[in-house]
Structure 1
Amino acid sequence: MRFSSHLVAFLLLAFPPSVLAQADAQTASLAKTLKQGPVVAHRVQAARLLGESDDPEAMSPLCAGLADESPEVRAAAASALEKLAEPGAVVCLEARKEEQDPQVQAARTSALKALRALQARPARLYVMLAPLKDTTGTLSPELVKLIEARLRRALFQRGAALAPEKETEAQARDVLRKRKLPGYRLVPEVRPGSSGGLKLVVLCLRYPGKQLLGSVEVQGTEGEPGELLAALVPQVIADSASAYKWR
């Protein structure tokens, strides 16, 4: 059985710039502004944009922004971490217990509450995510790593608990039995698009085991590889959730 989404043709028009940000370039630029920008308003704006970027790599500069000399920037960084919704940010937010500014403390408290709720949310499925395979041979190792992080983020947002990389079949069965979750193995691949551009394909198998359930693919033809894949990742996970009825 094969599921295919409709062609994603005009990505720059269909998605806001924050979604299409080339994280290796735009996130780095925003992170530099947040760290070194001489104007407080510019650092505040950089924090806000990082929070809206949907880029897992934005968490690190935002955590660093919690130590900015300006309370406005610190508050913006805390609010941006809440917006970014990376549960790992709980660690850096908790480390700022000595924060004295009321505005910053309120933003920090709000972010901690939201992120702890995400951490406590019960999982709906259990996923072993295989390494991303680049059949085009054109993606940099850094971009491959980033796309894998985006896939993990999109899966988490769909309620997935991710299996550890070297988990044995016996360990997986034990987890599934105890947590009463369905198990899936997802194998993502980047392929050349049929009309140019790129195609992101996800093969779905039972986990543990190797029974192939099907595949989902999405394609984009406008934009640089980083832009295309940033938009295609949430689409392919959303289509997978629909195809395999992840509830």
Structure 2
Amino acid sequence: MRFPSHLVACFLLVLPITVVAQTNPQTASLGRLLRKGAEPPQRIQAARVLGESEDPQALQPLCEGLQDPSGEVRAAAAEALGKLGEVGGVECLEARKEEPDEAAQAAITAALKTLRELKARPARLYVMLNGVKDATGTVPPEWVKATEARMRRKLTQLGARLAPEKESEAEARGVLKKEKIQGYRLMAEIRPGPDGGLKLSVMCLRYPGKQLIGNVEVQASGAEQGDMLEALAPRAIEEAASSFGWKK
């Protein structure tokens, strides 16, 4: 596999809000509807939309939806957890193994199968994501955290195994030897962009170690900060995968 030694710059020049998936306020609103909607059909629809949102923050409200008084809502929440594809959903689904409603039990079983298979996939690469830094000083901390969560989600979708924080070099090398995969360290930073936009820069290094492989940068403008970051997070990982040969 051949890696570029130069810096790679990739740009999203103008990104309308209409192409963005769920924003964090929408996820929160849907979560409230799932918890407090007056009628089961409202709560069912909220669960379904959360399942399609690709938002890691949808995991918690969907897990809470497994406790809903309505079996139909519990079934919808379980199905949505399978579609969301967050392996963290395994724990809350396993806690409902004694589900009394047949339809909900079937949905839980199916979702568990999906997530366990996702969790058990052989890793294609090993990644240490060193968080996301805000160099603008204007991005709310919760949006910075959400950006990191979306980057982690995209890495998982690409078959990456994520390294734990404070892992020793010996531990990392042990994983790489056992799994027979390459290790990478990603350092991400949110920077000001032109026309009031934002840039998301991701530096890629060898892991363990500090050998620079390259850098990708994506940018967006013409939308709210949260909307831009929501779109930029997965896009930056996609560009890194393409530039550094992770998709081969």
TM-score (norm 2): 0.94
For residues 6 and 153 of structure 1, the distance between their equivalents in structure 2, rounded to whole angstroms, comes to 21
Q: Structure 2 matches for 1:32-111, cutoff 5 A?
A: 32-111=32-111
Q: Which SS does the other structure have where 2:202 is aligned?
A: strand
- Residue segments in structure 2 that go unaligned for 5+ positions in a row: 1-5
Would you say the 8 A contact 1:199–1:220 is kept in 2? yes
Instruction: Give per-residue Cα distances to partners, 1:171-210, cap 9 Å, x unaligned.
Output: 2112111211101000001001133310111000011111
Instruction: Give per-residue Cα distances to partners, 1:189-245, cap 9 Å, x unaligned.
Output: 100113331011100001111111110011110211111111111111111001111
Is residue 2:114 matched to residue 1:114? yes
Instruction: Give per-residue Cα distances to partners, 1:139-166, cap 9 Å, x unaligned.
Output: 1121111111111111111111111110
Deviation at 1:8, TM superposition (A): 4.2
Please tell me the residue identity of whatever aligns with 1:68. Answer: D
Is residue 2:10 matched to residue 1:5? yes
Instruction: Give per-residue Cα distances to partners, 1:117-155, cap 9 Å, x unaligned.
Output: 001100000111112111100111211111111111111
- Residue segments in structure 1 that go unaligned for 5+ positions in a row: none
For residues 162 and 10 of structure 1, the distance between their equivalents in structure 2, rounded to whole angstroms, comes to 29
Please tell me the residue identity of whatever aligns with 1:228. Answer: M
Would you say the 8 A contact 2:148–2:233 is kept in 1? no
Please tell me the residue identity of whatever aligns with 1:195. Answer: D
Please tell me the residue identity of whatever aligns with 2:158. Answer: R
Would you say the 8 A contact 2:191–2:199 is kept in 1? yes
Aligned residues between the structures = 242
Instruction: Give per-residue Cα distances to partners, 1:31-59, cap 9 Å, x unaligned.
Output: 11100110211111111111111111111
Would you say the 8 A contact 1:59–1:86 is kept in 2? yes
For residues 13 and 154 of structure 2, the distance between their equivalents in structure 1, rounded to whole angstroms, comes to 18
For residues 205 and 35 of structure 1, the distance between their equivalents in structure 2, rounded to whole angstroms, comes to 43
Corresponding residue of 1:30: 30
Q: Which SS does the other structure have where 1:4 is aligned?
A: coil
Corresponding residue of 2:236: 236
Larger mean CA deviation between 215-224 and 171-180 belongs to 171-180
Structure 1 runs (4+) greater than 2 angstroms displaced:
4-8, 10-13
Would you say the 8 A contact 1:11–1:231 is kept in 2? no
Please tell me the residue identity of whatever aligns with 1:22. Answer: T
Corresponding residue of 1:202: 202
Corresponding residue of 1:128: 128
Q: Which SS does the other structure have where 2:8 is aligned?
A: strand
Corresponding residue of 1:186: 186
Please tell me the residue identity of whatever aligns with 2:98. Answer: E
Q: Give the CA RMSD over aligned residues.
A: 1.2
Q: Which SS does the other structure have where 2:88 is aligned?
A: helix
Q: Which SS does the other structure have where 1:131 is aligned?
A: strand
For residues 225 and 142 of structure 1, the distance between their equivalents in structure 2, rounded to whole angstroms, comes to 12
Q: Which SS does the other structure have where 1:2 is aligned?
A: coil
Deviation at 1:27, TM superposition (A): 1.4
Identity %: 58
Would you say the 8 A contact 1:78–1:111 is kept in 2? yes
